[in-house]
Structure 1
Amino acid sequence: MSLHPTLQPYADAWTHSVEAISELVQPLVEGEWNQRTPCPGWSVRDVVSHVIGMDCEALGDPRPIHSLPRDLFHVTNEHQRYTEMQVDVRRHHTAPEMTSELEYTIIRRNRQLRNESRDPGTKVRGPLGTELTLEEAMRYRAFDIWVHEQDLRVALGRPGNLDSPGALIARDYLLDALPDVVAQKADAPRSSAIVFDVHGPVEFLRTIRVDIQGRGTLETAPALGPAATLTLDWETYVRLSCGRVTPEAVADRVKTEGDPDLATAILRNFTVTQ
């Protein structure tokens, strides 16, 4: 038995991103591990700690027993507290300790993926005692690790891989969240259409249609006379969706047409990651 075909793209994307992360951080000197990243409250060391910690959990390792400090301003909910545990426990680790643990975790995870024969629908452990299917867990890991690869690239001034396998997983993951952003969070008018025109290394044109009940659906067909159109580049789309920048900070990179209040409401509610 080998990895199920529907899981292979997620494994390939994870491998591509984790190897890129390893290559990025291997030559860093001690001080560079403390550089801030666009991920709120996290340094380069913190992002790598998160990558290690989440893959250790995917391997079935027990979570660390650790008390978080009370002054972590970026930790505001239980999900963030859960995630922060794997990060804070490594905050005083040295550069060699970080790279060694990362490499060892990659070796173990690669071995696990090579031997993975479970069905995509198999239930596995998720955050805060939840359960996910294996497919959901692997898809999220591929998305999450690519986003954090981009965090590290921004912090270290090493842009790249905006069109990698992980980028395509991220595109689909973020697009799945778009109907809720438009119809529920931004409260777009019923029986309306909103168009997103994204250009750059990853390009797409998508329409969110809001029906008479206020439900949003994602469509590939362009809309005639949309209530609003948002045009932006792929990197800006990702950074807004993942809460790395505010709409005000990238106002010069987002072009809006149609209802200005609706466009503003969408951009204010664009973040879909926790």
Structure 2
Amino acid sequence: MSLHPTLQPYADAWTHSIEAISELVQPLVEGEWNRRTPCPGWSVRDVVSHLIGLDSEMLGDPRPIHTLPRDLFHVATDHQRYMELQVDVRRHHTAPEMTSELEYMIIRRNRQLRNDNRDPGARVRGPFGSDLTLEESMRRHAFDVWVHEQDLRTALGRPGNLDSPGAHVTRDVLLDELPRVVAEDAHAPRSSAVVVDVHGPVEFLRTVRVDIQGRGTLETAPALGPAASLSLDWETYVRLACGRVTPEAVADRVKTDGDQELAAAILRNFTVTK
């Protein structure tokens, strides 16, 4: 038996990104592991530790028994504390320890994926003991690993893979959140439309229509006379949606038309990651 065809794109995206990450960090000297990434509070070592921890848990390994220090300024919520545990426990690991553990985890996960014959709808355990489908778990994981690959590339000055399989999974995950951002968080007017036009390695144009009840839906057809429109490049879209930059920091890379207050409200609420 082998992985269900529905799940294969997410396995392929994960494999592409995690192998790229392994290649990126393999030659790093000790000091380079301490470079700051765009992920708030995390160094290169921290990001890799996070990824090792996530995949270890997907393998069924127990979470480490570890007490977090009280002075981690970037850790304020239960979600952040949960994620920080796998990171902090590895903060003093050496470069060879990090690369060895990463390589071993990749071998184990590849073996697991090759032998996994579960249905996409099978229920699995997620963070905090949450219950979700195997398909959603793998989709979210492929998204997470690609975003962190980009964090590492930014920190190390090695841009690339902006149109890789993980990038296309990320596009779909982020677009799923766009109606909520526009209709609920930015409070776009009822019976209005907002157009988002993204160019670059991954290109798309989407319309969010807000109905009379204030619910947002995503459409591929462009709207005539939208209340507001935003045009930006793919890398900026990702960095905004994943909380890596503020709207002010990339104001020169985002073009807005129409209702400027609405456009500003959308950009203020653009971050969808926790």
Common fold by TM > 0.5: yes
In structure 1, what is the equivalent of residue 257 of structure 2? Answer: 257
Q: Provide structure 1 residue ranges, at least 5 long, that are not aligned to the other structure.
A: none
| Aligned equivalents of 2:117, 2:39: Cα separation in 1 | 34
Match of 1:75, SS state, is: coil
In structure 2, what is the equivalent of residue 120 of structure 1? Answer: 120
| Aligned equivalents of 2:172, 2:126: Cα separation in 1 | 21
- TM-score normalised to the size of structure 2? 1.00
| Aligned equivalents of 1:179, 1:107: Cα separation in 2 | 38
In structure 2, what is the equivalent of residue 162 of structure 1? Answer: 162
Q: Is 2:53 the partner of 1:53? A: yes
1:156-189 deviation digits (Å, cap 9, x = unpaired)? 0000000000000000000000000000010110
| Aligned equivalents of 2:79, 2:186: Cα separation in 1 | 23
Alignment of 1:104-119 (within 5 A): 104-119=104-119
Alignment of 1:28-107 (within 5 A): 28-107=28-107
Match of 2:245, SS state, is: coil
Match of 2:206, SS state, is: strand
Shift of 1:73: 1.4
In structure 1, what is the equivalent of residue 246 of structure 2? Answer: 246
| Aligned equivalents of 2:129, 2:224: Cα separation in 1 | 45
Shift of 1:129: 1.2
1:111-144 deviation digits (Å, cap 9, x = unpaired)? 0000000001111111111111100100011000
Q: Is 2:151 the partner of 1:151? A: yes
Match of 2:113, SS state, is: helix
Shift of 1:71: 1.4
Q: Which amino acid aligns with 1:123?
A: R
Q: Which amino acid aligns with 2:118?
A: R
Q: Which amino acid aligns with 1:140?
A: R
CA RMSD of aligned residues (A): 0.4
Match of 2:37, SS state, is: coil
Farther off after superposition, 155-164 or 120-129: 120-129
| Aligned equivalents of 1:137, 1:70: Cα separation in 2 | 30
In structure 1, what is the equivalent of residue 14 of structure 2? Answer: 14
Match of 1:14, SS state, is: helix
| Aligned equivalents of 1:120, 1:104: Cα separation in 2 | 26
Tell me the matched-pair count. Answer: 274
Q: Percent of pairs identical after alignment?
A: 84
| Aligned equivalents of 2:189, 2:68: Cα separation in 1 | 43
In structure 1, what is the equivalent of residue 202 of structure 2? Answer: 202
- TM-score normalised to the size of structure 1? 1.00
Which stretches of structure 1, 4 residues or longer, exceed 4 Å deviation after superposition? Answer: none
Shift of 1:88: 0.5
| Aligned equivalents of 2:227, 2:162: Cα separation in 1 | 30
Shift of 1:212: 0.3
Q: Which amino acid aligns with 1:215?
A: R
Match of 2:118, SS state, is: coil
| Aligned equivalents of 1:181, 1:76: Cα separation in 2 | 23
Alignment of 1:180-259 (within 5 A): 180-259=180-259
| Aligned equivalents of 1:202, 1:76: Cα separation in 2 | 34
1:90-113 deviation digits (Å, cap 9, x = unpaired)? 000000000000000000000000
Q: Which amino acid aligns with 1:12?
A: D
In structure 2, what is the equivalent of residue 175 of structure 1? Answer: 175
